[in-house]
Chain A
Amino acid sequence: MVKVDGSGDASSLVQVRDLDKTYRRGGEEIHVLQGLNLDVSKGEFVAFMGPSGSGKTTLLNLLGGLDVPTRGSITVAGDEITHMSAGNLTEWRARHVGFIFQMYNLIPVLTAFQNVELPLLLTKLSKAERRAHVETALSIVGLSDRMNHFPRQLSGGQEQRVTIARAIVSDPTFLLCDEPTGDLDRKSADDVMSLIEELVAHHHKTVLMVTHDPVIAARAQITLHLDKGVLIEGVKLAHSVPAAGVA
């Protein structure tokens, strides 16, 4: 169960306690996150909403080990990441986090297959094993027939699906999605969201998603609002995750 009052126990997959993040800009301190608490269990799909500058992306960066908090702790699957060295944090990201960005961020000179293979190059898997994993990931996102295409040869929706394949190929602990549909038309956005829902429903992935779109946020199991650096629990949706392909 998602909790924002710090009452969760050690069984939570993601446990955030008293998280502060302060930026210094031109001598002025900006408190982006203040005393934030969060507990997310395995297999949950959480959406974060909030106005621009509310700290949504900052929170996602902190959860993904891309940034370090000013104060507080983040524990993921038992690993306290806030005090890890930069090197350890990099290794931790490779093992535990799948990133899905708004702008897809595929490497344009690599094919879809090669882009998806990137996280696996850091593992000890053989070439054949890597190939099998990549083909599975691409089949999950429905792009088996596009694996030799370069990003420029794919539509926006297809590019984002390749990004999702890249995020899941190493079977990470959780997925972090930063506005995953922000650059897509409605149809493609629906497709991508259906895919994310399928990952949660059928592959038991834990997904933390930032979005400013209430329609997209409504696809998550729970929506949390960030306001003045604090999380407020939003409307908890009673529905179960729809089957793949259902918008």
Chain B
Amino acid sequence: MKFARIIWANLLRKKVRLLLTIGSFAVALFLFVFLAVVRDAFNRGADVAGADRLVIINRTSIINPIPLSYRDKILRIPGVKYITHNNWFGGTYIEEKNFFPQFVIDPENQRQVFPELIVPDEQWNTFLKDRVGAISGAKLAERFNWKIGDRIPIKSQLYGGNGVWEFNLDGIYHGKRPQDDETQFWFQWDYFEEKVPQSFKGQIGWYVLRMDDPDEAPRIAKAIDAEFANSPNETKTETESAFAAGWVKQFGNIQTLILSIGTVVFFTLLLVTGNTMAISVRERTSELAVFKAIGYSDLTILFFVLAEALAIALIGGGLGILFAMLAIPELGKALSGLLPSIVLAPPMLLFGLVMAIFTGILSGILPGFGAMRLRVVNALRRV
């Protein structure tokens, strides 16, 4: 590309300004990617939801329990293949800040309902035999440097006052897909049932079931809710993805918040880069006039300006994305427990790159058209 030297020389004309503009791009792109990752984390529930799974909660609210006795009735409904149940434990590990999701599980059916979360058979068998056994997600174990055989004390906030529940770490699960949540902590229903106060006994938080045919979901959901209609604990059955979306809504309108911040970042970046390009072009009015005088076409002049803007965008955007690749895994660890599991997936990097290119071109368009429309005679007179 014979014009590359001209574009590069013009880029390096004001090095401090170039560095600052590239820096703005890098920071903005990092923020962009980070916001996209957070947004994705909140929406992950819907992404990882099994198409063949239904979630059954108390019609009043998820914090209201449902009787364990419903299980057998649900299993009798045609199309239901497996069912398991969970309770939210809500404890903390050693310190208040060490919060992560702990679930009481039904060990007999957990793996059939969530086949994408893999626990080695040997570890699972140990867990089944160990009343105070627990299974940790791989990322959670890595966060606290747990190893199989460790004794894990969890301080209960909801059950048994502020007592500490002790668990043996019998196994570690891994998700089959990168987006699978590996930050959960599971322990046995029997141990839970034994230790909780009388008022909580026989009460589960929610059921999760797998169907033979996902297309049957509306019929099965309707049948389940009809089964318990007019009972003291009416149910609300929905697909796992709908349940996950409803869960995110409890945090407020995260989507709108993130989109708002992202939009502000985008426009600020556009203004900063657009201003830099406009100043850069204005400073070079007479030079651009010379280019035109000696035969460079208007389109070539536009190309020069756009190429400069694009180069800034690609360098700055690339640095921002590189920074995101380095920092987001660390941020994910630091924010573990506060935010859902953070995963920097390739589509997000691609999204960041596309945003950088789009912003670069947009910021160069107005100054570029200005340079294109420049009248040589007038521009030379300004010297």
Residues of chain A touching chain B, judged by Cβ–Cβ distance below 8 Å, are 61, 64, 66-67, 86-87, 90-91, 93-95, 99, 101, 103, 105, 107-110, 114, 118-119, 121-122, 127, 166
Query: A91 to chain B: which residues have CB within 8 Å?
Result: 295, 297
Interface size on B, as a range, is 20 to 34
Give which listed residue, B6, B9, B380, contacts A101 with CB less than 8 A: B380
Q: Given the complex of chains A and B, what is the CA–CA distance between A174 and B381 in angstroms? A: 22
Interface: B290 (CB within 8 A):
yes
Q: Given the complex of chains A and B, what is the CA–CA distance between A87 and B13 in angstroms? A: 29
CB atoms of B380 and A87 under 8 A apart: no
Residues of chain B touching chain A, judged by Cβ–Cβ distance below 8 Å, are 2-3, 5-6, 9-10, 12-13, 286-287, 289-298, 376-377, 380, 383
Sample 19 A-B pairs with CB under 8 A, ordered by A number: A64-B293, A66-B293, A66-B377, A90-B297, A90-B298, A91-B297, A95-B295, A99-B290, A99-B293, A105-B286, A105-B287, A105-B290, A107-B6, A107-B9, A107-B287, A108-B13, A109-B12, A110-B9, A118-B291
Q: How far is the CB of A102 from chain B (nearest CB, A)?
A: 8
Q: How far is the CB of B66 from chain A (nearest CB, A)?
A: 73
Q: How far is the CB of B371 from chain A (nearest CB, A)?
A: 14
Q: Given the complex of chains A and B, what is the CA–CA distance between A146 and B172 in angstroms? A: 71
Q: Given the complex of chains A and B, what is the CA–CA distance between A114 and B377 in angstroms? A: 24
CB atoms of B296 and A105 under 8 A apart: no
CB atoms of A67 and B297 under 8 A apart: no
Q: Given the complex of chains A and B, what is the CA–CA distance between A114 and B5 in angstroms? A: 9
Question: Given that A66-B377, A121-B3 are contacting pairs, would A87 and B291 also be in contact in the complex, using a CB cutoff of 8 Å?
Answer: no
Query: B291 to chain A: which residues have CB within 8 Å?
Result: 118
Give which listed residue, B6, B9, B10, B298, contacts A86 with CB less than 8 A: B298
Q: Given the complex of chains A and B, what is the CA–CA distance between A94 and B3 in angstroms? A: 16
Query: A66 to chain B: which residues have CB within 8 Å?
Result: 293, 376-377, 380
Main secondary structure on A side of the interface with B:
helix
Q: Given the complex of chains A and B, what is the CA–CA distance between A194 and B75 in angstroms? A: 105
Q: Given the complex of chains A and B, what is the CA–CA distance between A203 and B124 in angstroms? A: 94
Q: How far is the CB of B301 from chain A (nearest CB, A)?
A: 10
Most chain A CB within a 10 A radius of its CB, from B13, B286, B380: B380
Q: How far is the CB of A91 from chain B (nearest CB, A)?
A: 7
Q: Given the complex of chains A and B, what is the CA–CA distance between A108 and B383 in angstroms? A: 14
Q: Given the complex of chains A and B, what is the CA–CA distance between A103 and B382 in angstroms? A: 11
CB atoms of A109 and B293 under 8 A apart: no
CB atoms of B294 and A118 under 8 A apart: yes
Question: Given that A90-B297, A93-B295 are contacting pairs, would A109 and B380 also be in contact in the complex, using a CB cutoff of 8 Å?
Answer: no
Q: Given the complex of chains A and B, what is the CA–CA distance between A4 and B308 in angstroms? A: 47
Query: A67 to chain B: which residues have CB within 8 Å?
Result: 377
CB atoms of B12 and A122 under 8 A apart: no
Q: Given the complex of chains A and B, what is the CA–CA distance between A94 and B292 in angstroms? A: 9
Ranked nearest first, the 5 interchain pairs of A and B with the lowest CB-CB distance are A94-B295, A109-B9, A105-B290, A66-B376, A93-B295
CB atoms of B293 and A166 under 8 A apart: no
CB atoms of A119 and B9 under 8 A apart: no
Give which listed residue, B286, B294, B377, contacts A93 with CB less than 8 A: B294
Q: How far is the CB of B5 from chain A (nearest CB, A)?
A: 7
Give which listed residue, B3, B292, B296, B377, contacts A61 with CB less than 8 A: B377
Q: Given the complex of chains A and B, what is the CA–CA distance between A118 and B6 in angstroms? A: 9
For residue A118, which residue of chain B has the nearest CB? B294
Q: Given the complex of chains A and B, what is the CA–CA distance between A86 and B297 in angstroms? A: 9
Q: How far is the CB of B377 from chain A (nearest CB, A)?
A: 5
Query: B9 to chain A: which residues have CB within 8 Å?
Result: 107, 109-110, 114
Question: Given that A61-B377, A121-B3 are contacting pairs, would A103 and B295 also be in contact in the complex, using a CB cutoff of 8 Å?
Answer: no
Q: How far is the CB of B256 from chain A (nearest CB, A)?
A: 46
Question: Given that A87-B297, A101-B380 are contacting pairs, would A107 and B292 also be in contact in the complex, using a CB cutoff of 8 Å?
Answer: no
Most chain A CB within a 10 A radius of its CB, from B293, B295, B297: B295
Question: Given that A87-B297, A95-B295, A101-B380 are contacting pairs, would A109 and B13 also be in contact in the complex, using a CB cutoff of 8 Å?
Answer: yes
